[in-house]
Structure 1
Amino acid sequence: MKILVLSDSHGRIENAKAVLQRLEQQVDMVFHLGDYDEDAKALQSMFSGLPFHYVKGNNDYGWDTPSHKLVTAQGKRFLLTHGHKERVHFNVNTVAYWGEEQGGDAVIFGHTHVPFKDGDGRVYLFNPGSISLPRDGFPPTFGIISIENERIEGAIMEFDQGTIRRRKREL
């Protein structure tokens, strides 16, 4: 199973739309981690053949979108959050502890606009970065999470001037 992970599109869905157009037949599910949940809703209507799961971020104010969501895929429990309430800008330990408390196999979060992954702890941590407004010198990024042989593995993908490639340098 492959899951496309997007975050922090901030009303600029052109890159996300282009990525989905290219990968629609290669992924089984989409996560959007907020900022903006309206972007996730628009993409969901454009690509209605894919299951979408999304949460709201610190710039989302609607009542109909949850701030946290549990999604089970192939027996793995994914906890989705934007990350601002867990203060991921300062430290990922809080989100890791929260994931453990909730019995999650992975915590998928955004907010920082900087990609991050860590599979060394009890809970797999994954941040795809920002598809539209990257920071710290990164190009626009998104993630692909694979579940194979009961193992979760995340890949940070770069979307640079229309080209999709796996990030070569480890984070």
Structure 2
Amino acid sequence: MKLLVASDIHGSAFYCRKLLEAYEKEGAQRMILLGDILYHGPRNDLPREYAPKEVIRMLNEKKDEIYAVRGNCEAEVDQMVLAFPVLADYMLLFENGHAVYATHGHIWNEDHLPPIKPGDVLLHGHTHVLRAEQKGEIQIWNPGSVSIPKEGNPPTYAILENGTFCIKDFDGKTIKERTV
């Protein structure tokens, strides 16, 4: 199954539209959102075209295709307006016989590992910095940020298919790739 993985939309209608366009263009069957969907948070500037109500409308139209985890900016009020679950701390995916522990990254991260085994993958957002690399006996994957990237990265998302995690910019250019 082809999955589009994204994190940290932070209420940007501009980048949510770009994300949904990429989702359609990529032909993905499901979208995995790694949290911080609607609110920009007190540490971030307002993202381009900050319009959480518009983001709600756009994402709710895809409610049956979205799986999401809670970010540090999600609250119960977000669940009241979003038509798909957003308050789980993590989800488990399996790729090529390896567990992929998907979470936002503010609780479970490389400094505070969840229960994973050697060869498994920690997939998270939160840092707004894209990654696809080996660290010790596990892999760390981060699709970067859809709307507020950091450390000079462009706005990005990732495709997960057949064990390959491919980070792309919104022009479709591959930035980084890793296979489990």
CA change 1:119–1:28 in 2 (3 A) is farther
Q: Which residue of 1 aligns with 2:106?
A: 84
Q: Deviations over 1:84-115 (max 9, x none)?
A: 113x4xxx2533xx2515x9943210000000
Compare 77-86 and 37-46 and name the one that shifted more.
Answer: 37-46
Give unmatched runs, 5+ long, in structure 2. 40-51, 80-84
- Aligned letter for 1:156? I
Q: Paired residues, what number?
A: 155
Answer yes or no: is 1:32 the counterpart of 2:40: no
- Percent identity (aligned): 28
Answer yes or no: is 1:157 the counterpart of 2:175: no
- Aligned letter for 1:158? D
User: Is 2:19–2:146's contact at 8 Å kept on the other side of the alignment?
Assistant: no
How far, CA to CA, are the matches of 2:4 and 2:100 in structure 1? 13
CA change 1:125–1:169 in 2 (3 A) is closer
Give unmatched runs, 5+ long, in structure 1. none
CA change 1:124–1:135 in 2 (3 A) is same
How far, CA to CA, are the matches of 1:76 and 1:168 in structure 2? 20
- Aligned letter for 2:106? H
CA change 1:37–1:107 in 2 (3 A) is farther
CA change 1:4–1:168 in 2 (3 A) is closer
Answer yes or no: is 1:3 the counterpart of 2:21: no
Q: Please give the TM-score of this superposition, normalised by the length of structure 1.
A: 0.73
Q: Which residue of 2 aligns with 1:54?
A: 68
Compare 62-71 and 33-42 and name the one that shifted more.
Answer: 33-42
Q: CA deviation at 1:75?
A: 6.1
How far, CA to CA, are the matches of 1:41 and 1:53 in structure 2? 14
User: Matched residue of 2:19: which SS?
Assistant: helix
Q: Which residue of 1 aligns with 2:88?
A: 66
Q: CA deviation at 1:49?
A: 5.9
How far, CA to CA, are the matches of 1:141 and 1:117 in structure 2? 13
Q: Please give the TM-score of this superposition, normalised by the length of structure 2.
A: 0.70
Q: CA deviation at 1:146?
A: 1.7
